[in-house]
Amino acid sequence: MSIIDKLSSGMNEAGNTITQKAKDISEQTRLTGEIAKNKARREEEIKKLGEAYYQARRKNEPENLEESVHEIELIDGILEKLTESLCRLKGIILCGQCGSEVPKGSLFCPSCGAQIKQPSVIRCGKCGAQLDAGSRFCIQCGTKIE
C-alpha cells in the first residue's frame, strides 16, 4: 500500500467516525425533543385529571378518571423508552435516587452516593453476545432479537 493510499484510507476512517458521531448527535437531539414533547403532554394530562377530579368533587358526582389515568400511563411508557434510548446513546445511566447522569458501569452515584441499579443485559440467541436489554439487533452478528 502506497503512502498516499494509506493516508486516504486513514482519512476515510476518520470521516466515517465523524459521520457516525453526527448521526448519534442528531438522534440525541431528536430524542431530547421527543422527551420534552411528551413531558409537556404529560403535564397537560395531569392538569386535566386534576380539573376533572375537582369538578366531580365539587358537583358531588362520581369521578370518572380512568381514561385520563390510562393516557398518562401510556405517556409514561413512551417517556421511559425514550429516556432509555437516549441514555444508551450517551453511554450513561440515570441515578434512580437523584436522576443524575452517571457513566455506564458506575456502582455508586457520584452526586448522592446511591447504589446504581445496573441495566439488565440479555443474550443473543445465536452467538451469545451480551446486549443491553431493549436491543433490537445483536451488535456481534446482526441477528434480530426477539
Q: Classify residue 144 by its DSSP letter.
A: B
Name the one range near Zn ion by CB under 5 A: 24-32, 33-41, 51-59, 99-107: 99-107
116 binds Zn ion, rule: CB under 5 A: no
Using CB atoms within 10 A of its CB, is residue 48 exposed (0-12), middle (13-18) or buried (19+)? Answer: middle
Rank residues 15 and 96 by Cβ distance to Zn ion and give the closer one: 96
Single-letter residue type at 110: P
The least CB distance from residue 103 to Zn ion, in Å, is 13
3-state secondary structure of 99: coil
Separation CA 120–CA 41 (nearest Å)? 29
Size of the site for Zn ion (CB under 5 A): 16
135 binds Zn ion, rule: CB under 5 A: no
126 binds Zn ion, rule: CB under 5 A: yes
Q: Which position has the grid cell 486513514?
A: 10
Pairing of strands 121-123, 101-103: unpaired
Name the one range near Zn ion by CB under 5 A: 1-9, 59-67, 70-78, 114-122: 114-122
Residues in contact with Zn ion by CB under 5 A are 95, 97-98, 100, 109, 111-112, 114, 124, 126-127, 129, 138, 140-141, 143
